[in-house]
Amino acid sequence: MCGIVGYKGKNDACDILIDALKRLEYRGYDSAGIAVWHEGEIEIARRKGKVDELRKVVADGSFTGRIGLAHTRWATHGTPSERNAHPHRAGDVVVVHNGIIENYIELKERLREEGHKFLSDTDTEVIPHLITSYIKKGRSFVDAVRLSLKELKGSYALGIIREKEKMLIAAKKESPLIIGVGNGEYFIASDAPAIINRTKRFIFLEDDDIAIFADGTVRLIDLEGKTIKREVHQVQWSDAMAEKGGFKHFMLKEIFEQPRAISETLIGRVKEEKGQVDFEELKLPDLTKINKIWMVACGTSYHACMIGKHLFETMLRIPVETDIASEFRYREPILKKDDMLILISQSGETADTIAAMKEGKKRGVYTLSVCNVLGSTLARDADGVIFTHAGPEIGVASTKAFTTQISVLFLLMLHVGKVLGNMSSEDISRYIKEIKQIPHKVQSILDMADNIEEMARRYMICRDFLFLARGINYPSVLEGALKLKEISYIHAEAYAAGEMKHGPIALIDENMPVVVVSPHDHTYKKTCGNVEEVISRRGRVLMFTDNPSHEMADRVESCFVLPRTIYALQPILSVVPLQLLAYYIANFLGTDVDQPRNLAKSVTVE
């Protein structure tokens, strides 16, 4: 995810901004840029690549001034390049932006009709042009910003300066932005690590807040121009804690980032009022001729494939075959020209998945990658690509990448359903409405994380776990067991609940915790029977259900109630408490949660 920093104060802005960008490098980025205001002029420098390349540009001392903005970009619109790097300028207005502007195409067309010329491929560039448009119509700088923000659909964290104003403006909606309060100086940043060495006094902006830095003060207003108040918080974070947003580990931070990650994956793609899903610039083959879909991946991403198979077969009646990428080409799969091969990888650099893509291309099959890293091998070399906008994932054990992969596959299923005529616009609108509620429902689970932590404390001494579920939630328990194995080094196995009596039931006794996902769906009664079988053998059941009146709730050791959603979206909700359970057990045991032994974040060898 991109990094924003800004400064207004009594010291030289350039060195402060470059240092702040270096402190945000852990977030991942593909380009960097800086803008410094000095006596009515703004100097801008942008470079593809690392912050050190940008540092070389400003090393001659030409970037002097006490107001400035800087940015590291994680590309979402347009390839990594100098022309697409931030800051972006229109007239004398300069902007840096995190987030995604959902309606930028409509705004760009309108602004072009007014005579505006665009120089990049980004969604961000419409923002300075829109502000400039209002200024030309006689609006003040502050009003032009405020009115522009009211037109934007999507998410943003913004830093804005103008040559004719000795002022810095910041604004936030659904993308993080904080204010650092120093001694006669102010900072803005997308994350505390950027400025924690300069101040520990922060104002945490809320959605639709606008901050105006002028005359040595900061004033906050809302979108209507009304003054608002926000408390200044004193934090005691160390630099390391700040990098993790105050969380003990990156993994926990990333679990808690899932509402935002899913929201940003949806933005710009779902058109609820039109009953359609759009994937910008994605050129799919003639879907009416698709014979079969293949979904291929490794590890966590393979579990996403299993959910994707369930979605496409259950809702569209399209046959899907899933394969573990390391096995795919060695069994010489029967690929036909009218098949589609979907390859899923967080990094886009997984060696076995890349090899599977090459096998598909060799057979003349259309290849579509789902990944999180723009510029990665899968993103470059596949015939089509859909990005999950999860932002960088630092913890080795994948969490937010998984839930955004499921979200993308659900959206792709809706898109294919619309193209093939298998789904009406009304049905798609209903499903879009459901998935737009998922981030809020994930947040409600995270708000009850303390309950999962207490559950973890109770079971942390157990050395074996069994995970059970049916239907579309079976891949979720596979993922839950994998998370527990990865970071706590506890033996855990997951089975489709109906398979328990075909062997695993022999393991069950009073020392065996059995994690069961049992929503109130068409598998409910069958799963109740499986829980009964565990209890009768004195097994210890930890149940996760969306039914507060579950008939087995009073007979199990632990029960956690999930929010309800449609069957197709249950895995996104059911996996979150399993991620938390694994995390808290590992944390209690004192293992290296973010870098578990023997594992790597990106498996680039076979």
Measured CA to CA, the distance from residue 324 to residue 328 in angstroms comes to 6
Place of tokens 């998984």: 402
CB of 427 within 8 A of CB of 316? no
Measured CA to CA, the distance from residue 273 to residue 275 in angstroms comes to 6
Measured CA to CA, the distance from residue 472 to residue 304 in angstroms comes to 10
Q: What 3-state class would DSSP assign to 371? A: strand
What is the torsion angle, in degrees rounded to the nearest 10, for the CA atoms of residue 31, residue 35, residue 36 and residue 37?
Answer: -170
What is the torsion angle, in degrees rounded to the nearest 10, for the CA atoms of residue 498, residue 503, residue 506 and residue 507?
Answer: -80
DSSP state letters, 381-436 = HSSEEEE-------SSS-SHHHHHHHHHHHHHHHHHHHHHTSS-HHHHHHHHHHHH
Q: What 3-state class would DSSP assign to 540? A: strand
CB of 65 within 8 A of CB of 37? yes
Catalytic choice (2, 14, 305, 371): 2
Closest CA to 553 of 531, 574, 577: 531
Catalytic choice (166, 248, 271, 601): 601
Measured CA to CA, the distance from residue 237 to residue 246 in angstroms comes to 7
Residue 601 annotated to the active site: yes
In the chain, % helix, strand, coil (3-state, to 5) comes to 40, 25, 35
- CA-CA distances (angstroms) from residue 561 to 286, 438, 531, 574? 43, 15, 16, 10
Residues 6+ positions from 448 with CB-CB distance below 8 Å? 560
CA angle 331, 336, 341 (to 5 degrees): 75
DSSP type of residue 131: H
Output the six-digit token pair for 541. 């059941």
Q: What 3-state class would DSSP assign to 303? A: helix
Task: Identify residue 187 by its one-letter amino acid code.
Answer: F
Measured CA to CA, the distance from residue 92 to residue 132 in angstroms comes to 8
Residue 528 annotated to the active site: no
Measured CA to CA, the distance from residue 253 to residue 249 in angstroms comes to 6
CB of 565 within 8 A of CB of 436? no
- The verdict on whether omega for the bond into residue 596 sits within 30 degrees of 0, i.e. cis, is no
Per the DSSP assignment, residues forming a β-bridge with 369 are 343, 385
CB of 106 within 8 A of CB of 130? no
Residues annotated as catalytic (active site), given as ranges? 2, 601
